[in-house]
Structure formats: structure tokens, C-alpha cells
Structure 1
Amino acid sequence: MASYRKTSTGWKATVSKRTNGKLSQTSKRGFRTKNEAIRWAAAIEAEIDGVKRNKRDVVFADYFKDWYQTYKKPKISLATLDRYKIAHKVIANYFKLKKLSSITRKDYQQFINQFGATHAKATVLKTNNYVRACLKSAIADDIILKDFTQGVEIVHNPNATIKVDYLSVEEIKVLLAECKSNLRTSFTSRYMIITAIYTGMRLGEIMALTWEDIDFDKKTISINKTWDYAHNTGFKPTKNEASIRVIRVNHKLLNIISSLRENKTKMVFENTYHKIPTPTAVNKALRELLNKTGINAKNFHFHSLRHSHVAYLLYQGVDLYAISKRLGHSDMTTTSKQYAYLIAELEQRENNRISELMDQL
């Protein structure tokens, strides 16, 4: 929108533009006639309209890729970057060359309906969160005016969610006993399994442990880095700031891993061949132990030891806040969401116990 005003030095033209509710103006004065001012303002408005038209031509998939590479890639882990790449592929396959500015809420809901029909709730939610963050950027860039993810109904396939297995207290004891029965410092996979059971640490955090991280006097382990086993690039920062923590550990664990000092390596779980067991090797060792002990856990893998650690603490009545801090979660909400099924089982057990107590009155 342009306005014109006669001044002492000639005509002045002002072109106004409103972006995200904020008004910006471009002015020029000194035109000899009003027609000159009108022609100048028309050229400026045409330039603005041209930019808007170019922005309206942006393909959704292209913008999403440019957005995560510009704003996310510099500060996220390679594993998280891979998830953004997968989300981009999903978007590109569904929306193809559809322009971002042409997508409606109905279009997006239809996408969620189709995607959710074959995917677990967590996957659908994560993809939706990525898109929503992308759209905030698109609104700031004046490409779209509204967020078409608002009010979307999340659709998911309950059968696509794999229930995480965890061990009972008795199964944990049996697994620990078998692990300890044949410990060899040249075969560090069993030591890593024992550490996961006693600490609930992530695999990458365990792989990254150095002797400087363990305080045998204070009985603590400092978790300040992780190991990039997915891309084999060595040390990398922890998952997030909350993941940097110092946890208290038990005397039994310290006694067990202290024997690894005889390997004379910087890394705690580096074997005599100066190698840290790969996730494949550790999971193979875990599967062999489960088979040997007769523990039936179909979907059980190394990360399930972390779930088993949490289950044990919950069933022993340990406060959820303390568990959240021990796991390195950013807040209790993360813990309660991730272990909702465990908390629900515990609640049911406590409700049954309450009923039994009432019957005793």
C-alpha cells in the first residue's frame, strides 16, 4: 500500500508492508511530480509482490530439507539428523512437488491418516512435531500465513507399536548370575551388560566410559560424553544437556569393572584387542545369555536393560524424580511418558494391594 505527500522539497512516496503483524515502511522524497512518486512506489510494490510470488512457489519437501539443514543440522546428533532425513523422504514421497502455500489442513490430515495407518503413535507424533517446527519457520519467512498442522487429529496403528520387554526382579538376578559366572577381561561385552543392569545407562554412554569417569572412592560414574557407534566417529556430546550427570553406583559393580584395569587401556570396556564391542556383538552376547538362562524375551535388546533398570526401581518404590535424574531425562514428563506402561502396571498392582488391605479390615 502506497501513500503520497507534498513536501517543501517535492513529492514523498511511502510504501507500507505488514509482516507477522509488524508494519514496515520504505520511503523516498524529492520527486518533482506526483506521477514520478507513483511510478517509483509501483516499482517497489511490484518487487515486493514478485518476492511473495516466488515464495509462494516453494515446494514443501524442498523447504523442509532446506529448513532442517540450516536450522537443525548444526546442533543435532547424526542419529537425530537421520530421523529428519527420513521425515523428509516421507514428506517428499507423499506431497511430491506440492507447493507449501497450497497445502490445507485437510491435505495434511489426509497425510496423517495415511502415514498413521502403518506407523506407531510415537513415530507419527515425532513427524508431526518436525513439520510443525518447520511451519513456524515458514510463517516467519512470509511463505504461509497459518500453521496447517493446528487441530490435526493424530492417527496411529496400535499394532505397529512394539511393546518393550523388561525383566522381572527374578529374571534380572538370574541374568546377573549368569553374566558373572564366566567373566573374562578379554571379553568385555558381559561387563557392559552388567553395567547397564546396575546403572540404566545408554549403550553409547557405556561405550564412551574412560577410567577418569569413575570415582571408586565416592562410588560415582560421571556421564559426560557418548560414543557414536552408528557412524563410528568416536566420542560425541551427550544426547542433551540433561544427559550430563553424575550417578551413584553400587559396590558390586565397582568391584566387577575394576578387574578390567588389567587391560591397561584408557577406555573402560576396551578389550585386549583394543576394541570396544560393537552393538551387534553386545546384543549377540545378551541374546546368548537369555537363551542359556531360559528367559523368554522376544523383543529384548541392550536398551531393554535400561527399561529393566527403571522397572526394578519403580517396583522398589524409588521416586520418579530420582529415576528421571538418574536416566538423564530433561524432565519428569519425559520419564512418565516413556515408561507410562510400567507406571500403569505399577498403579494396577498398588490398586490390587489396596483392595487386599481393605479386605483385611
Structure 2
Amino acid sequence: MSKNVPIKFIYDDVKITIRVRYDKYYLDFMHNQKRVKRSTGLNANEENLKELKTNIIPELIKALTGNKEIEYFKKDILFTDFAIKFFQVYQGSVREHIFEANCSIYEKQIKPYFSKYNINEIKPIQLEEWQNKLLDKYSLHTVIRYRSILNLILNKAFENDIIKFNPLSKIKYPTSINKKFKKLNDLENTEIYPFNKDKIIKILNNSTGNLHYFIFIMLCTGMRPGEIISLTWNDIDFEKKNCS
């Protein structure tokens, strides 16, 4: 990008232009029907431009509009930078121990693989490679859990119009690649399983309403209560008949 080319960003009725003067970044915008030109004091370089886009201008927009939540810029957003914002919001939606566990999974299993990418650069083939590597090392249900966390992050980016679609939705769900859920008749042959067929049937027969379906989902998928509670209709692909 040439330093002499102004960069314009528009949020609703607010337009902010980044200009370069004397090798410094200046902001040009309207406030209370008056034009405001201010130097940021930042030298014109890529690192400071990123700081303007991801931190300074969003905070300025928040102050000008009074909005608590604003859109992110759609260009040059690192996956890791967006993930930080995601977990800040996510923390208030789940129990603390689930939040801490999922943050740990992100740091160990997701961040190292995608840290070098802008979020809009992540392609389905990269996600498939990541999933296949995990399947070589971990159990099916473990990979499903890792995938669910990455899916939450990418879905949030899609909901905020940062990416055009969730690329993980184009990758086959692990259950369709490796094995299907077991039938009740097969459960007694499983090496490690807390309930036999008779106990499962007794539990289901003595539960009603939403509790019945809640228990059934846990038995069939191995999902934890907090993970089931956080499910939304957007997590279900009715065409492919699976969850993402």
C-alpha cells in the first residue's frame, strides 16, 4: 500500500479516513457537523496501521456512536486477534470451568496451527489438514470437541460479516468419516462405557420432556451438559443432517 493513498472506513453514518502527513498517520472525520483532523502521533508503517484498524479506530467509533459493539474491519485481521475478542465475549456465556478448558484447547490445539493466517485467508483444505492431523493423534470425540471450539470462533466471524462463510462447514464432520454412533444393542460390547443397555433404557424411560432429549443427546454423542446448553439451531445442518 502506498503511504500517499488515503484509507477510508465507514461505520453506519460515520466515515473515517486515514491519511499520511510528514510520515505520520492522521485521522480525518466529521463530528457534530464539524470536520476534525488529528494526528495519531504514530509513524506510518504496517504495524501502526494494524493498531489503528483493530484498536484505535474501533474505540473512536464507539465513542462517536455510543455503540457498545461495533463491526471489526474486514481486512487484515489475524485469526488470533479475532479469537481474543471472541473469548472476551464468550466468557460470559458459559460456566467458568468450561471457559477455562476451552481456552486451554484453543491455546494448545488451534492457535499454533492458524496463528499465521488472517481470518479471511483460512481455507477448507487447511481446516481439513488440521482435522486429519488431530484424528491421527486423538479419539474421535476429542477431535469433535476441538472442532466445536474452532467452529464457534469462525461462526462468530461469519455473524459479524468478517468472513463470507464459515469454511469449517465445508469439511465433513468426523463422525461421517470414521464411524457412526453405536446402536443400543452394541453398547454392551464397548470396553469402557458407564451404563449397559438395560440401564440406559431405564434412564430414558424414567425421563420425560426436554430432560429425556437432553439425556439422549449426551448418551449418543458424549457431549457435556454445558456444550449441549450452548447449542443453537445454527449449529445444525439440516441438509447434511449433522452438527457443525
TM-score, with normalisation over the residues of structure 1? 0.35
Larger Rg: 1
